Amino acid sequence: MSDTTMETPQVTINKPPASVKVQRILKGVPMRLVLLAIILIWVVPILGLLVSSFRTPEAINNTGWWTVFGSLFTAEWTLSNYISVLYADFMGLAFLNSVLVTIPSTVIPITIAAFAAYAIAWMDFPGREAIFVIIVGLLVVPLQMALIPVLKIYTANQLNGTYLGIWLAHTGFGLPLATYLLFGYISGIPKEIIESAHADGATPWMSFTRLVLPLSKPAIASFAIFQFLWVWNDLLVALVFLGTKKENALVTTRLAEMVGSRGQDWHVLTSGAFLTMIMPLIIFFSLQRYFVRGMMAGSVKG
């Protein structure tokens, strides 16, 4: 390759662009190779999981998953791993539980936070500044600081292992961030809009539900995606407040439990892991713009 760059100028002096072009391509090669290597490290492990989840248990244990690329059409593909993990390993039930936990755990904190953010931004009351300072301070408090006392109260009140218990726990842990983000957005709405609504006789309830909420859709969508994924992917809160009993388990606790009890059974681990990822991946590919925004906004969560 280096021959080309050395020879071209000798052939004709009038054609320097050719050598410049070759040089530029050569300069780009190491960069592209590094980038390619990084992409492979990022993608190949996921690909291995996906491919393996469709192979028979014998095939998974006897040959590496990459060998299928030599026999894509003759290899034995199967859906039985998914069927067995959904029913025999209760992943289907866990999926339903995860939906029932995640949706309210997303809607409740957003609602409460939106009301609070509106009050802090546009209503006048004593303690308003103090509340906001406290919320900013609470943003970074590690979740671990709350687990033991809340668990004690839950155990005493039979809230442990209930939907309500975990909804409220996620509401509490997500609330500082939700209020902070929505306040940032809602307080940025032009003053004239709010004031003219009030001049037209709108009550605070009306101006909140008909004006502020619709205007805040982008902020709400970003936070909703973040909170939804956070709750869906959460392991710690689910382990502490719901436990690993099969009737209560979520997709994450179920999968973690399976790693402990069936750590060598790759046919159920790979298909189980992929089932837990389907929901986040659908959101990732369908709502990518909001997804990125939501993950950026939510990165400060405590």
**Minimum distance of another protein from residue 19's CB (angstroms):** 18
| Amino acid letter, 256 | A
Q: Report the candidate in 117, 151, 127, 110 with the shortest Cα–Cα distance to residue 243.
A: 151
Concatenated DSSP letters of 235-279: -HHHHHHT-S-TTT--HHHHHHHHHHHSTT-HHHHHHHHHHHHHH
Is residue 137 near another protein by the rule CB under 8 A?
yes
Q: Does 220 bind another protein (CB under 8 A)?
A: no
Residue 223 near another protein by CB under 8 A: no
Cα separation, 160 vs 154, whole angstroms: 5
| Stretch binding another protein (CB under 8 A), from 3-11, 14-22, 73-81, 138-146 | 138-146
- Sign of the alpha-carbon torsion through 79, 83, 89, 95: positive
Distance CA 268, CA 84 (A): 7
Residues 54-83 binding another protein (CB under 8 A) are 60-66
Q: What is the DSSP letter of 77?
A: B
Q: Is 44 in the site for another protein (CB under 8 A)?
A: yes
Q: Which is nearer to another protein, 5 or 111 (CB)?
A: 111
Q: Which of 18, 22, 75, 146 binds another protein (CB under 8 A)?
A: 146
Residue 143 is a binding residue for another protein (CB under 8 A):
yes
Looking only at residues 1 through 20 of this chain, which bind another protein when binding is defined by CB under 8 A?
Answer: none
Count CB neighbours of 196 within 10 A: 13
Residues 239-278 within binding reach of another protein (CB under 8 A): 239-240, 252, 255-256, 259-260, 263, 266, 269-270, 272-273, 276-277
Contact residue for another protein among 86, 94, 135, 212 (CB under 8 A): 135
